[in-house]
Amino acid sequence: MAELLIDKKHDESRQGEAFAPKDPTNHSFEKKFYIESYGCAMNFADSEVIASILQKEGFGITSRFEDADMIFINTCSIREKAEITVRKRLTEFRQLKKNNPGLLVGVLGCMAERLKSKFLEEEKLVDLVVGPDAYRTLPSLIEEAESGQKGVNVLLSREETYGDISPIRLNSNGVTAFVSIMRGCNNMCSFCVVPFTRGRERSRDAGSIVRECTQLFDEGYREVTLLGQNVDSYQWVNPSDNSIISFANLLEKVAQISPLLRVRFSTSHPKDITDEVMFTMKKYDNICKYIHLPVQSGSTRILQMMNRTYTREWYISKVNRIREILPGCGLSTDSITGFCGETEEDHQQTLSLFEYCEYDLAYMYFYSERPGTLAERRFKDDVPLEVKKTRLQEVVALHRTHSLKSMQRDLGKTFKVLIEGDSKKSDAHWNGRTDHNKMVVFPKEGNPALAAGKLNKGDYANVFIERCTAGTLIGRIK
């Protein structure tokens, strides 16, 4: 299957993730909600804000939709397949609703924003349609829906950041957490629905971000990932003195919370990433040396049609700058094959750019035309599906050789690993990630001198890498 290397980012084919309540008193709530999330980390972070809003209103949370009084699906609209997955999921709830007519079903997120009230016409079992900027109105919409009135709120905002809401960590390992620092996007990449489903860019109050990260650290978390569609354009004006907090400033403030708190961020934009950000990363050991820098295409002609606002040469100059200032920094990307009008020569440009960058990790897709986007309005989706898939396979195959090489480069080295929990395959092994975002698995019983048994989730371990697979480094505690 073409999209094998997709991670949490945009895995529209993956079964949505339901959330298990951590709160033992949860059973005392009168009514319970079940929430399932799809798509990008931003959506998962939003579900944690939604859970907080609903719990404050006295609703409990359950990880079993059979036990829920209301079911929410936080949807993704980035590709057609993401929406097909949601519709399929809704059919699975149809019988449940027949058996329990009082059950409320709500669709949230980007697909809700894209379809708006049309969702109610197309999916009769849906009672609520709520967009990414309207979650504060959920309690009142639920009240109306409970009296039989279907509810829609898809108003986009220029201010809303939910900065004052403490998210409830759902399905958390207690070690790593997402912290959204901004919402929306001002870029208008021609293939992308995000500006239409998440609205204009707005940066969250820097103080509230630092407070949330400090609170997470005090609760035992040891890694935060600062989230935004384009973190490099983060800019917050402090109303008290009109001072401006840039992304580099914010990174520094979060890194200064504690050297034991790892700081990651996603997603960067090639046109906006600055030397200042790179030098700030260099200055603090606890800012992870890993950058996600979507390229989308290696052809300047296609980049212009995509309205990415940079050229192939500009992109390469940014990669060179990263490698100059941060030698050994992990680098990942997003790419789209088969965009409108893409020729074999354009495709070869993408392959040669991958050859040049040798990414450690990549999220690769073929072009999926999205309704309402600039590309849908301006260009013909004229690359045959078979050609799209073949070109994607070529990029995936090439990238596989690079990511394996990248893993093999780490053999015989020792890395500081943040322990995130038991390895999926055995609870006699820990798993965790290196600074440059590679998964490491190693036995808990390590070096007798270290009395390794003492190590726990959230601790750092120095791990000597003995072997690797395409996706995992395997080692032992040094």
Binding site for ligand SF4 (CB under 6 A): 185, 187, 189, 192, 194-195, 229-230, 269
Give the length of the chain.
478
Residues 6+ apart with CB under 8 A from 263: 223, 224, 226, 251, 254, 255, 284, 286, 287, 288
Q: Which is nearer to ligand SF4, 342 or 420 (CB)?
A: 342
Q: Which is nearer to ligand SF4, 138 or 353 (CB)?
A: 353
Minimum distance, C-beta of residue 295 to ligand SF4, in the bound complex (Å): 11
Residue 214 tokens read as 């400090």
Q: How far is the CB of 109 from ligand SF4 (least distance, A)?
A: 14
Our CA angle for 330, 401, 230, nearest 5°, is 35
Report the alpha-carbon distance of residue 206 to residue 249 in Å, rounded: 9
Q: How far is the CB of 474 from ligand SF4 (least distance, A)?
A: 34
Query: What is the token pair recorded at 253?
Result: 């403030």
**Contact call for residues 295 and 337 (beta carbons, < 8 A):** no
In the complex, minimum distance from the CB of residue 269 to ligand SF4, in angstroms, rounded to a whole number: 6
Q: What's the rounded Cα separation, in Å, for the pair 1 and 3?
A: 6
Residue closest to 61 by CA, chosen among 218, 172, 198, 177: 172
Least Cβ distance, residue 307 to ligand SF4 (angstroms) = 8
Q: DSSP 3-state assignment of 182?
A: strand
Rounded least distance, CB 363 to ligand SF4, Å: 12
Pairing of strands 429-433, 439-443: antiparallel
Work out the angle between the directed axes of helices 138-146 and 41-56 (0-180°, nearest 10): 60
Task: Find all residues with CB under 8 Å of 337, minimum gap 6, and list them.
Answer: 347, 350, 364, 365, 366, 367, 388, 391, 392, 394, 395
Least Å distance between CB 189 and ligand SF4?
Answer: 3
Dihedral of the alpha carbons of 265, 267, 270, 271, in degrees to the nearest 10: -100
CB-wise, 60 or 228, nearer to ligand SF4? 228
Query: At its nearest, how many Å lie between ligand SF4 and the CB of residue 192?
Result: 3
The continuous run of DSSP H or E covering 477 comes out as strand 472-477
Nearer to ligand SF4, 157 or 166 (CB): 157
Report d(CA 258, CA 311) in Å as an integer.
38
* Shortest distance, position 200 Cβ to ligand SF4, whole Å: 11
Say whether 45 sits in a helix, a strand or coil.
Answer: helix
List Cα–Cα distances, 5 to 10, 34, 356, 361, 410, in angstroms: 11, 29, 19, 8, 20
Specify whether the backbone of 427 is left (phi greater than 0), alpha (psi in -120 to 50) or beta: alpha
- Which three-class secondary structure state does DSSP give residue 365? strand
Q: Looking at beta carbons only, is 106 or 195 nearer to ligand SF4?
A: 195
State the minimum distance, in angstroms, from the CB of residue 238 to ligand SF4: 25
